[in-house]
Structures are given as structure tokens and as C-alpha cells.
Amino acid sequence: MASRPELKAPPEIFYNDTEARKYTSSSRIIEIQAKLSERALELLALPDDGVPRLLLDIGCGSGLSGETLSEHGHQWIGLDISQSMLNIAVEREVEGDLLLGDMGQGLGFRPGVIDGAISISAVQWLCNADKSSHEPRLRLKAFFGSLYRCLARGARAVFQVYPESIAQRELILSAAMRAGFAGGVVIDFPHSTKSRKEFLVLTCGPPSIRSELPKGKEGDMESCSDDDSSEDEENQTVCISDRHRPRKKQKITKKGKGREWVLKKKEQMRRKGNVVPPDSKYTARKRKGRF
Amino acid sequence: MRLLTHNMLSSNIKGVTNGFPLRIEVEKAIEKQVDFNPDFLKNMFPKIDWKALLDASRTMGYAELPDETPDSSMLDSDEFLRKFHHALLELHLEEGALVCPETGRKFPVNKGIPNMLLHEDEV
């Protein structure tokens, strides 16, 4: 994936004035960010008593995610490394406080004062070594260590991440565990390539009932067994004898793919999290000829 | 930057054992109206370092806060909560600097954003 911004330049350089403006004026990104932060806030599982909390938004950028926090009435402190992004946040008059800082250098907060932390699409940047002095392991350690210190006991931290590979996810997760966090990864829509989202849900303090991982969102409850089998069929090589088969026999049927096939495809789409019309007696029926 | 954030921030330069509270150097301070929410204040109160808030609000030119660390019974008084609210959430440091109490390192504040980036030898 060459389009990953992490591979282009360090964050403070990649998010320059033009990129920051582009980022914040795209309605698509705004919508995605709002959805992600909404979900992150849900996973944060703050006690439902209507009391505003002091939250931390790591990699707050232009404050798109912070806006969701403000909507829910919370006070927040945002941290970002890109001055341009923060300038836009100031322009947009976000309600939270902003800090220019590098999460890989550790967070300078007093111990135990923050009620929860969210971070949308930011932590994977830590896996890059952009300067000669950068060592991803140490930076992850400094970040998670300082985060653990400043969170109140029992508080949660939710990070939405786009790990490049399994190894990268492992790296992030193991750094978090070493810092003392309990928790793991929650995956929404695991079957979809597009709407698949990964959230790292971490709890501060000893494991308890509260630290139990919430379930990821899925299009449907069914297991992926038949999905796998259909993939296998497609990937199979064609036997030579098949190639010499008369053409006519290769056509499936004259009627088309049939109801069963349509239902199977709809099921697949549902599992990916797409919006699919419900099945009815009209599903996969042919139109009348006179139409 | 509000004093709420100042009250949470400490200097995390390598080797600094007590980076709190950061001293404030004011060039320009402003006030912004914020909705009054007593629940948040009551929830926040135990976490606030009173001495630091008091000093910070004095530096910012607001002298209404009581000298003594208030006990929790004060939290029922609306008058006190209003003052607390004003000091904590409505006073903004717009231009100036934060100074590390141990090393004297300055973190400049521009447009209300403190620059907490550390140099390579401070990490």
C-alpha cells in the first residue's frame, strides 16, 4: 500500500498547511473521523452518569475527533505533533485545549489525573523511525509508560489504529502490555476490507470485570466457514480435462445464477457490513417479460 | 491554554524529577465564556493541585481564589464554584511561556498552544 501517509513523510512534515487544510475540508474524512471517535468513545465505556470527564485526545489533528467529545459534553486536551493541523484547530475554535507535542517523547502529565484517552489513526505513526534518534520500541515504551502513569486507575484508553502488518500490531500491543495495560484488540467488520476497523482497548490497572473486552461490530453473527470454502473454489486451478470440456457444459444454467447464489452473495455483503436489502419472496425473481 | 491543562501538565525532560508546576510567563491572557457545570467541577476538584492553581490564577491576574486549600464542604457553595470555574476553565494563556521549575527550560506558548516538543538531548 503506497498510499499510506506513514510511508511518505514524518507526521510533522506530511501534515503541512496544504495537507492539513485538505484533510479538514474533506467531508468524507470528517464523517469517518466523527464515526470513529463516536465508536472510540463508546468503547471507552465511561460511567453513564452525565458527568463530564477530562479526556485526552492523542494525535488530535485539527480537532475533528475532539468535536465529538465536546458534543458529549466532555472536557479534553488534545496533543499533536503537526503545527499546521493545530493552527486549523485554532481556526475552527475547538473547545478543548491543544498541545504541540510528540507522543513518542512521553506525555508530560501529572499521575492519575486523566479519566480516559482516545486516539484516532495516530499510534501507528510511532512504528516509524523518522529521525536517526528514533527507536520505535523506545518511543512506544515512553508513550505507553507515560500514558499509564497519567491515567486514573480503572480508566480506559481506546486507540483506533491502522497497523501496516500483523507484526506492527504485535509490536504496539506488546508495548502496551509491557507498560501494564490490560486489554486487546476489538475489530469491527472483520470480513470487510473497506469498513474493517481496529481498536486497541486498554484498561489501566489490574484486570477486572470492567476490563473485559467489548465485542466488535459485525454485519451478521454467522461464522465465516462458507465464505472460506467459496474462496477455495475460486482459487483452485483448472484441470486440463476441464479445459477440453465442450463449451456448452461450462455455462451454469440458462436461467442465470439462481436464488441460492443471490442469497449467498447478499450474506457475504452483510458480513462485510454493507447495507443490503432484506431477503423476501421476491429476492432473485426475474422480471416479467413485458416490463 | 486553560489553567485546567496547566494544572495537569508537568515537564517531562529527561532527568527532571519534579517538573510540576510549570511557572507561567504571561504576555497575553484572555477570557472565554464557558458553560458552568458543577458536576464536572466536583468531579475534578480532588485531582486539582490547589497551590498550583492558586499561583497560576494570581499570575494571570485573577486574585479571587481563597488562599487556603478549600475542603470538600466548600463545593456546595455556588459562589466558590463560580470562582473555581472561572479560574479553571475561563482563563486562557494566549501568548507567553511555561517554564520548567527545575531546569528553567522555556516552553513557548503561541496562539494558546504550548510547544511541548523536546530537543533530542532532552528525551
Query: What ipTM did this prediction achieve?
Result: 0.90
List chain B residues with CB under 8 Å of A71.
none
Give the number of C-alpha atoms closer than 13 A to the C-alpha of residue A17, restricted to the C-beta side.
1
Are the C-beta atoms of B39 and A50 separated by less than 8 Å? yes
Contact A77 B8 (CB under 8 A): yes
Distance of CA A124 to the CA centre of its chain: 11
The type of residue at A55 is L
Q: From first to last of the 291 residues of chain A, give the pLDDT tens digit.
A: 457 888 888 888 888 888 888 888 888 888 888 889 999 998 888 888 888 889 999 999 888 899 999 998 899 999 999 999 999 999 888 888 999 999 989 888 998 899 999 999 888 888 888 777 788 888 999 999 999 999 988 889 999 988 888 888 888 999 999 898 888 888 888 888 878 888 989 988 765 555 567 777 776 433 333 333 333 333 344 445 555 656 665 555 566 778 899 999 999 999 988 899 999 998 988 888 876
Query: How many angstroms away from the CA of B17 is the closest CA of chain A?
Result: 12
pTM score, whole prediction:
0.77
Nearest CA among B87, B82, B78 for reference residue B50 = B87
Does A106 lie at the interface with B, CB-CB under 8 angstroms? yes
Beta bridge partners of A109: B9
Are the C-beta atoms of B60 and B3 separated by less than 8 Å? yes
**Strand-by-strand arrangement of the A151-161 sheet:** A97-100, A75-80, A54-58, A114-120, A151-161, A197-203, A182-188
Query: How many angstroms away from the CA of A110 is the closest CA of chain B?
Result: 5
Backbone angles phi, psi at B114, to 5 degrees: -70, 135
What does the alpha-carbon distance between residue A265 and residue A194 come to, in Å, rounded to a whole number? 17
Are the C-beta atoms of A65 and A37 separated by less than 8 Å? yes
